[in-house]
Amino acid sequence: MHLDSREAVARLCDFFEHLTRERLGELGSLYTEQACFKDPFNEVVGVAAIRAIFEHMYERLDEPRFVVTQRLVDGDQAFLVWDFRFRFKGAGPQPEQTIRGGSHLRLAPDGRVLDHRDYWDAAEELYEKLPVLGALMRWLKRRASQ
């Protein structure tokens, strides 16, 4: 079955924007069995391994959600620009955190994802927001720019 790339990407965006732990079982309908996923912390192959990454996300974070702000689709490839919003678990009252990033996707003829690579700056978007490590990261950033 051949699925229009724009429809496939729209379906994927809808999935991520409405993601819940209960919906993780749907990943097999969105990713091929041997799909590759890579981000600043992970590099895995297969739906089960991709699901494990999202399971871990739900174990460590409260209220994680994605907001896709832009999408570009060209043939069997797409690029998504997104905000990932969350709170750290067990940290008490805190402001919502936001990581801004992008995803490059390559699609199979059936519209499922073959390759998914996330791009975001872990230092700026995550480490700088942590209490102790954040101060060190900001200092290093200032020193490097001098």
What is the model's pTM?
0.82
Q: Give the separation between CA 95 and CA 90, rounded to whole angstroms.
A: 13
Quote the pLDDT of residue 94.
78
In 90-119, which positions are buried (b, 16+ CB within 10 angstroms) versus exposed (e)? eeeeeeebebebebebebbeebbbbbbebe
Assigned CATH class of 5-120: alpha beta
Q: Where are the domains of the chain?
A: 5-120
Q: Which residues pair with 82 in a beta bridge?
A: 68, 101
Confidence of residue 36 (pLDDT cuts 50, 70, 90): very high
Among the ranges given (27-31, 45-49, 100-104, 141-145), the one the predictor scored with the smallest mean pLDDT: 141-145
Say if residues 83 and 16 touch (Cβ distance below 8 Å): no
Quote the pLDDT of residue 97.
87
Mean pLDDT of the chain: 88
DSSP-assigned states of every residue in 75-144: TTEEEEEEEEEEEETTS-S-PPEEEEEEEEEEE-TTS-EEEEEEE--HHHHTGGGSHHHHHHHHHHHHHH
